[in-house]
Amino acid sequence: METKLYTWDNGLRLVVTPMPGFKSVAFSMMIMSGSGDETKDEQGLSHFCEHMLFKGTTNRTGQQIIDEFSRLGVYYNAWTSECATCYYTKSIAENLESCVDLYSDMYFNTKFEEDDFDKEGDVIVQEIAMHEDNPTSVMYDRLNQVFYRGTKYEHPVAGYADAIKKYKPEDIHKYIRKHYRPQNTIISFAGDITIERAQELVAKYFISRKPVYGSLELLVPLYEAPVAPKQRENVPAINPAPTRLQVKKDTEQQHVALAIPVCNQYHDDRYALSLFRLLLGGDMSSRLFINVREKLGLVYSIHAEVEFCDIGGNLKVIFSCTPQNTQKVIDVVCQEIQTLLQEGITAEELDKYRNQWHMQHLFGSEITNKVNGRASETVAIHNRVISIEEELKIIDSLTIDDINQVIKKYLSTDKIITVIVGK
């Protein structure tokens, strides 16, 4: 299975992973514009645009778009993050062209009624309220606000309800004109498709089409001019100060996140940290699960996560428990960190979690939408394809000393950022 990357003169990128023998094909249209690209006066607009693209074009109403996707029987959706907005489908090969046509129409020919805009704004306000009612969502949101304070990733992806209510339709159109450009766009396919077919579809639906919004006289020359693809800057990772934040909510349990700053998404240490994350809190055999749940019975579940972006990264421990157990769990986590700093990991642990890393990624290589998402993500971050085989070799080359050096480099109980949501 080999992934190919093609770049047109206008900066548009195509990523293709043919998977012979598969019945489905995954397709995505990723725009490298998310909440981290918004100005103070644009907060929430990336996510708002994601919603509004489904509300109609110059060729189709919003209902026609939904009906056509439903008629095709495809799986379709979209998401917005700090770094990107992505629209995707999963279908059989014979329905793929219709999917590409629909998203191309939405990309180039956005048009919606003001009434749709107002209603969707209300929907987003309800979405924000829904997240505020969910203690786990609040925990992650407040952790991001604390960890990324003073940076472009400080505000929530969905924005703030007061700002959403003030936006006008022209704000959406301006944002689309600003960001929905070829050099910001990655088209990706994986599954039952050939490279030649993927190139044909992109040429037909993305290279030959032109946007109809705004002033064509101004936009078309900019659209056709040779330009380099967007690439995020590799800057030194942020190192936020240790903080403890408690958010009061009427819940039976406290929902807790402990985060330690680590490297950014470009640093080679990310591989050792990803492997270490499994050892610390990846499954029921991990150190935290055994020591916190199995031995002490303090939680129902506890796990570790690792997150990387262009300006930094963090290693998180996530758990929920009754208030009287919270500090006990935090103390056990800190003790486990001290033990790892003093004693390091064992050869048995390295072998076990290296094998687990292998299995997780190889299993993912059998799912077309996961292959597609991974391929487009590596291109968005590194502007090149990084194959699973290449990453497996890196993981296999890591030694006990490599992992222990990374542990000593980043882990410290003095660096922990703590967010607690609950009573």
Q: What is the 3-class SS of the chain, one letter each residue? A: CCCEEEECCCCCEEEEEECCCCCEEEEEEEECCCHHHCCHHHCCHHHHHHHHHHHEECCCEHHHHHHHHHHHCCEEEEEECCCCEEEEEEEEHHHHHHHHHHHHHHHHCECCCHHHHHHHHHHHHHHHHHHHHCHHHHHHHHHHHHHCCCCCCCCCCCCCHHHHHHCCHHHHHHHHHHHCCHHHEEEEEEECCCHHHHHHHHHHHHHCCCCCCCCHHHHHHHHHCCCCCCCCCCCCCCCCCCCEEEEECCCCCEEEEEEEEECCCCCCHHHHHHHHHHHHHCCCCCHHHHHHHHCCCCCCCEEEEEEEECCEEEEEEEEEECHHHHHHHHHHHHHHHHHHHHHCCCHHHHHHHHHHHHHHHHHHCCCHHHHHHHHHHHHHHHCCCCCHHHHHHHHHHCCHHHHHHHHHHHCCHHHCEEEEEEC
The rounded distance, in Å, linking the Cα atoms of 320 and 136 is 9
CATH fold for domain 244-422: Cytochrome Bc1 Complex; Chain A, domain 1 (3.30.830)
The rounded distance, in Å, linking the Cα atoms of 288 and 45 is 39
Q: Which residues of the chain have pLDDT under 70?
A: 210-225
What are 25's strand-pairing partners? 91, 191
| Intrachain domains 4-224 and 244-422 with the same fold | yes
Number of Cβ atoms within 10 Å of the Cβ of 331: 11
Q: pLDDT value at position 1?
A: 73
Return the domain boundaries, the chain: 4-224, 244-422
Q: pLDDT value at position 212?
A: 54
Q: pLDDT value at position 218?
A: 38
Q: pLDDT value at position 423?
A: 86
pTM beyond 0.75, yes or no? yes
HSE, side-chain direction, 13 A CA sphere, residue 69: 19
pLDDT digits (tens, 9 = 90+) for 214-239: 433 334 444 556 789 999 889 999 99
CA dihedral sign of residues 185, 59, 35, 70:
negative
The single-letter code of the amino acid at 401 is D
The encoded tokens of residue 244 equal 């403890």
Sheet holding 302-309, edge to edge: 244-248, 417-422, 254-262, 312-321, 302-309
Could you tell me if 243 and 417 are in contact, meaning their C-beta atoms sit under 8 angstroms apart? yes
For domain 4-224, give the CATH superfamily: Metalloenzyme, LuxS/M16 peptidase-like (3.30.830.10)
Name the one residue in this structure whose structure tokens are 């704004």.
Answer: 121
Could you tell me if 23 and 153 are in contact, meaning their C-beta atoms sit under 8 angstroms apart? no
The rounded distance, in Å, linking the Cα atoms of 183 and 229 is 4
Q: pLDDT value at position 192?
A: 97
